[in-house]
Amino acid sequence: MPTVLEFKESEMFSMGVELELQLVNTRDHNLTAAAPDLLAIVKEKAHTGDIKPEITQSMIEVSTGIHKTHRSLLAELRSIRTLLVTEARVLNVGVSGGGAHPFQHWSERRISDRPRARHVSGLYGYLAKQFTVFGQHIHIGCAKGDDALFLLHSMARYMPQLIALSAGSPYYQGVDTAFDSSRLNSVFAFPLSGRAPFVLHWNEFEAYFERMRTAGIVESMKDFYWDVRPKPEYGTIEIRVCDTPLTVDRAATLTAYVQGLCRWLLSQGPRDVTEEIYLAYTYNRFQACRFGLEGEFVDVATGMRRTIAEDILATTETVRRALGNEAALYEVEEIVSNGNEARWMREQYAVNRSLPDLMWRQVLRFRGEEGKT
């Protein structure tokens, strides 16, 4: 019998990034359905990676090639950023990161004219337009499916850290949600969201997928909106909890941090991860979304309770000793010290209490022109 869901071997700890980006007009800084025009222009330009439409026409997705180092990943992200910013100016369009547009209304969005987008819209109704939120997806290469599943579950313990470090969607539909990351509430509305089933061997995961496919619940891995999912056709795990950062530099930093964590986890000897790792998962996830770095982290195995910020600093110290990954770890510690981007957004909004002005400041921050008006 042929393999149901073959896991393609890839180089261990290789990494790649996908970023979902906002397209806003230069008049009132609301979202604009500019993706078809921008993609048509970009298609004619030489570039690395991939730039393609997303669920609605006010967003695009960019993805990098495969990288071994933080330096090369950052260089490609900056190159793609420069291309997008340059060509978007021709259309009087701004490009921005951030997990959610602060004041757009979902009912005004247009579904992209492509089969996958039409399928999701037909299946999920208004949730498809509400899915105009923006995330960073981090891919880490694995040599085999069992490695991928081990890392998928082991990384569950660090999901609150990644949510808090990347949180950048405090405003939604024109109000401060009181969440640092409101974006994940939109994702959680989908029935196949949350966490993957606890299996540690690829043949068991294949059997699970085949049962779901035979039952007509899913057609492919794209139908799972889990926080972390295996991506067998790439030979990776895909971490999906991060809001899109406001700069490509931060996107590269978060990816390098994940790479370091995965390398450290696989260096620790016997694989003793159990399903108990999920006992406080939903609680810790909520704390990270709601309170960001000041949220509470509970380690059920040890009974330890501390802030997510404290947990990050303890982790970077451990990983530093194991790997010496100074550059990315230092930048992660800077985020803990200076605050995440939700904090930056609230500070910017406090200047003149204008969400359109905040949106434009985000555009300038993405361009690397922060401080200009």
The tens digit of pLDDT for each residue in 57-97 reads 999 999 999 999 999 999 999 999 999 999 999 999 999 99
Domain limits of the chain? 15-367
* Per-residue three-class SS string for 225-262: EECEEEECCCCEEEEEEEECCCCHHHHHHHHHHHHHHH
Q: How many whole angstroms separate alpha carbon 111 and alpha carbon 99? A: 19
Percent above pLDDT 70 for the chain: 97
**15-367 CATH:** 3.30.590.20
Place of tokens 């949180």: 167
What's residue 311's pLDDT? 97
Q: Say what the pLDDT of residue 1 is.
A: 35
Entry pTM: 0.95
Angle between helices 248-265 and 308-323 (to 10 degrees): 70
Per-residue pLDDT tens digits for 286-328:
999 999 999 999 998 889 999 999 999 999 998 887 776 678 8
Name residue 26's beta-bridge partners.
none
pLDDT, tens digit, for every residue of 89-109? 999 999 999 999 999 988 888
**Which residues, at least 6 apart from 74, have a Cβ–Cβ distance to it below 8 Å?**
248, 249, 252
